[in-house]
Each structure stands twice: as C-alpha cells, then as structure tokens.
A and B are shown apart, each in its own frame.
Chain A
C-alpha cells in the first residue's frame, strides 16, 4: 500500500466551478503538507503549504488538513482554463530527507 493515495483523474469541470482535490495518507507522523501544480512537460511548482491541521487560504485556493482522518484537500474556487494541470500532493515530517508525493490528479477546466 502506498503511503500517499491520490485519485489520478482526469477530472473535467466547467469554467467557474469549485474543484475539490484530495489525498489520503497512512503515516501519522506527516506534519508538513504541500500542493504542487504541474503543467504539461514542466517541473512542479509549489502552490500551497500547510503545517499540521487546519485551513490555509490564498486567493482562489484553500488547503485543508485533517490529521485525525489522515486526509488533505485542495479547493479551487471560480476555476479557470489556466488551472488545467496536474495537481500533486506531497508531505513529510521532521527528520525525513525528502517529500513523499501522491501520484497526481489531472484537472481539465473546460471554457
């Protein structure tokens, strides 16, 4: 079983929709949680970072962490065609040398 599970999609939504992307994980020691956005043939770029449980908002993006359920989410409001990309969740804990990534969810926002 993978440490981090993520639905690969693709997820297709109309422009303006609210998008919900999710990951589940099995390692209760994870405490730093990230969402990366990756456009086709490009390197991933950090979108959101959250420490421990709670919510974090940045413009149209909201990241949620529920450590009790080992579940993290990324919400995109008023989705735009430019949001079409693969979204990767990633997480780690103090002492780990590198991030553990989900497999990524491909999102398509239709104009």
Chain B
C-alpha cells in the first residue's frame, strides 16, 4: 500500500544528544514536510522540501536539520541546539494531484527528552 512510514514511533533522548527521525514515502511525491505538534498549539512547520536536494526552513527551523538526497526519504535531525525538543513530530506529503494544500500524514514520532 502507498503511504508514509515514520520511525521510530517512540524515542527517548538524553539532553545534549542529537537524534534523527526517519520519514519514507512510496507515493512518488516530490514534496515532503515536517511538522511539530505540541499540546494545545496545533501543528507548526519545521522544514519542507519541494524536490530532491532542495529544502526550505519553515516557521520553527532553529535547532533542526534535514536532508533530501532521495525522493522517497526526508529525515529530520533534532540537534542539541533545540531548546525544547519533547514533542510529536509529523511527516507529510501532498495528498492530491492539484496544488491545493491537502496533506497526507504519517503516524508520527513521539520524542521525549529525559
């Protein structure tokens, strides 16, 4: 089945450590997005990529890094510079054939910093 796979589902990290969240899609979509979700704050855009080898900062990119070396993969690294990394991280790709903004989300990765 076509879709988005995020891993790991749950992750614990000690302060000062970098951690990489995986996002893989088999939908053959060019665009991919990373959102962060905190309780009561909705979803906020971290980074997005419209095409391989290109990505742009979103609204809250500080303390995060990404790469887009393959069309199907868009990993997110949460660095030690991110002040409050505990959150639910969601990867997404456009769900329609038209550029109307609809997104299809993965199941998410919950990161907890101990």
Interface residues, chain A, with chain B CB atoms under 8 Å away: 4, 6, 8, 32, 34, 41-46, 49, 51, 88, 90-92, 94, 96-99, 101-104
Contact = CB atoms under 8 A, between A and B. Distances in A.
B106 A34 contact: no
Number of chain B interface residues as a range: 20 to 34
B95 A46 contact: yes
B30 interface: no
23 contacts: A32-B100, A34-B102, A41-B110, A42-B107, A43-B92, A43-B108, A44-B90, A46-B95, A46-B102, A46-B103, A46-B104, A49-B100, A88-B43, A90-B43, A90-B101, A92-B100, A92-B101, A98-B58, A98-B101, A99-B43, A101-B43, A103-B41, A103-B42
Contacts, number: 60
B107 A99 contact: no
Given A88-B43, A103-B40, A103-B41, A96 B105 contact: no
A44 B42 CA distance: 11
A55 to B, nearest CB: 18
A96 B42 contact: no
Contacts of B100: 32, 49, 51, 92
Contacts of A4: 42
Interface of B: 6, 33, 40-45, 48, 50, 56, 58, 90, 92, 95, 99-108, 110
A98 B48 contact: yes
Given A41-B110, A90-B43, A99-B43, 7 more contacts: A43-B6, A43-B108, A45-B105, A49-B102, A91-B101, A96-B101, A102-B42
- Of all A-B residue pairs in the complex, the 3 with the closest CB atoms, nearest first, are A43-B105, A92-B101, A101-B42
B89 to A, nearest CB: 10
A104 B42 contact: yes
Contacts of A88: 42-43
A89 B39 CA distance: 15
Contacts of B90: 43-44
Task: Please indicate which of the listed interface residues A8, A46, A98 has the most CB atoms of chain B within 10 Å of its own CB.
Answer: A98
Most central of A4, A42, A94, A97 by chain B CB within 10 Å: A97
